[in-house]
Amino acid sequence: MLIVDAHLDLAMNALEWNRDLTRPIDEIRASERGMTDKPDRGQGTVSFAEMRRGGVRLCVATQIARYVAPGNPLTGWHSPEQAWATTQGQLAWYRAMEERGELVQIRDRETLDRHVQPADGRARTDDASTRDPIGYILSLEGADSIVTLRHLERAYAYGLRALGPAHYGPGVYANGTAACGDLGTRGRELLREMERLGIILDVTHLCDDSFWDALDHFRGPLWASHSNARTLVPNDRQFSDDQLRALIERDAVIGAVFDAWMLVPGWQRGQTTPEAAQVTLDTVLDHIDYVCQVAGSARHCMIGSDLDGAYGREQGPLDVETIADLGRVPERLAARGYAEEDIRGIAHGNVLRFLRGAWR
């Protein structure tokens, strides 16, 4: 079955982690043996071969570069121009992967339908043995690198189709996880330009104040690419029931994320282990179940794994060895009694319907 993953930091892994995603996953892990600069060294789960093996033939892939103002303790770049240049390097990597035949950019309804519905009527993505290019929809995680609104227009021209105004902490256009405050003038101007261009608003990572401000000022299509339920894991990184209901009223789709600290309460980074917390694929499905219960249907659920989003096997479900294990989600949903139509919806149908509506 075709799996769509609505959030993967592919370029970040390639350029900042120096991972060659064209190589087998065992080789990528072996190349990091003995490294200690990042906690997930040797624990990566994503490669192009593993994506194909799990049926992940379409994804939302990110650019990401944070600007940190003086006094901001987070890591990042010291000017928006540096952040912009970093995203352009990431774009160059995506283009190089297109030239190599590993990826193909999906930027409108025509390219989407061509990718998921071949002319012969068979689902190309159902055959994990083929080496057809993996489709990717370009998203920007955090808008700090958008130096001016002209830069946003340039980004749209090269294929940017979704944007989350903030990441962690305070941002140029919005406030993100662990921060507070609404969008302000620049953030609302950004949303107006996004709406004019037809760029999807990704509300993931927006703090509560910025979240509600964004919903008040943006009338275009919006989604949450990788977020879970706050009722199950109390933290401002998750969505409250009221936020979930507001997204559902806007016909948004919400991607279940696989990072363990967002799956179970009380996770301590660097201390808790997936084995000790008994975090499994079924824990992810608990969050999907919860959103389905709030919505009254499975229409608003999708997968946004965020696998290798600065974490690996040390902070993921213990039965997820690689991203290929996303291919087991349909059978796990079936074991819970989900109907075939709903399983296909969560695996790919809901996000495809959303994109076709956004790009009509």
Q: Average pLDDT in the 283-303 region? A: 98
Q: Average pLDDT in the 87-106 region? A: 98
* Greater model confidence, 72 or 12: 12
How far apart CA 155 and CA 151 sit, in angstroms, is 6
Indicate the average pLDDT of the chain: 95
Q: Which of 68-72, 81-85, 110-114, 320-324 has the lowest mean pLDDT?
A: 68-72
CA-to-CA separations, 76 to 61, 92, 177, 249, 350, in angstroms, rounded: 20, 20, 15, 35, 34
Dihedral sign, Cα of residue 314, residue 315, residue 320, residue 325: negative
Q: Inform me whether the pLDDT recorded for 317 exceeds 70.
A: yes
Q: What is the pLDDT of residues 275-290, one digit of tens each?
A: 999 999 999 999 999 9
What local confidence, expressed as pLDDT, does residue 119 receive?
40
Q: What is the pLDDT of residues 237-282, one digit of tens each?
A: 999 999 999 999 999 999 999 999 999 999 998 899 999 999 999 9
Q: Inform me whether the pLDDT recorded for 65 exceeds 70.
A: yes
What local confidence, expressed as pLDDT, does residue 112 receive?
98
- The domains located in the chain, with CATH, are 3-358 (3.20.20.140)
Q: Average pLDDT in the 294-312 region? A: 98
CA-to-CA separations, 356 to 108, 163, 258, 359, in angstroms, rounded: 8, 17, 26, 5
Residue 118 — very low, low, confident or very high, per pLDDT cuts 50/70/90?
A: low
Q: Inform me whether the pLDDT recorded for 206 exceeds 50.
A: yes
pTM of the model: 0.96
Q: Average pLDDT in the 289-311 region? A: 98
Q: What is the pLDDT of residues 4-36, one digit of tens each?
A: 999 999 999 999 999 999 999 999 999 999 999
Q: Inform me whether the pLDDT recorded for 360 exceeds 80.
A: yes
State the virtual CA torsion across 10, 344, 320, 17 in degrees, nearest 10.
0
Residue 130 — very low, low, confident or very high, per pLDDT cuts 50/70/90?
A: low
How far apart CA 68 and CA 82 sit, in angstroms, is 11
Give the distance between the most distant pair of CA atoms in the chain: 57
Q: Inform me whether the pLDDT recorded for 120 exceeds 50.
A: no
Q: Which of 127-136, 271-280, 293-302 has the lowest mean pLDDT?
A: 127-136
